[in-house]
Amino acid sequence: MESCNFGEHLMLDGYGGDPVKLNDRDLVMCALVDMPHKLGMKRLSDPIIKEAPDNNIKDPGGWSGVVIIAESHISVHTFPKRKFVSVDVYTCRNGLDRKFIKNYFKKIFKLDDIEENFVKRGTRYPDKNLC
């Protein structure tokens, strides 16, 4: 049976960010409200953001947020004491504007550098219902 690509998963790791911005709950909320709109995607819920405490291992705490979109989800995890942020944009659409997304997060968190990982998801996704 023929198949098509299900979607795309962009994973960004940002380094050297502004610790004040990375510790700004409202800025994380704004990104999770704004990004789906900017990408032409539909939010299915309001974002959920929780303060993540220091786990006394390698995670010094920060903010973790996610928004469920019709096309999948977007998540942001900040680590202000490490000047680090981890962002996932996962969508069933193809053709993500990766440059735009990278520049958006680089600007709002004042990142020095971004590591990008990109995966095509569901490369054997059936193009027809199987039952």
Q: Which residues are catalytic?
A: 72, 77, 92
Contact 100, 10 (CB under 8 A): no
The phi, psi pair for 119, rounded to 5°, reads -130, 130
DSSP string, the chain: --EE--EEEEEEEEES--HHHHT-HHHHHHHHHHHHHHTT--BSS--EEEEEPP-SSS---EEEEEEEETTEEEEEEEEGGGTEEEEEEEESSS---HHHHHHHHHHHTT-SEEEEEEEEE-TTEESS---
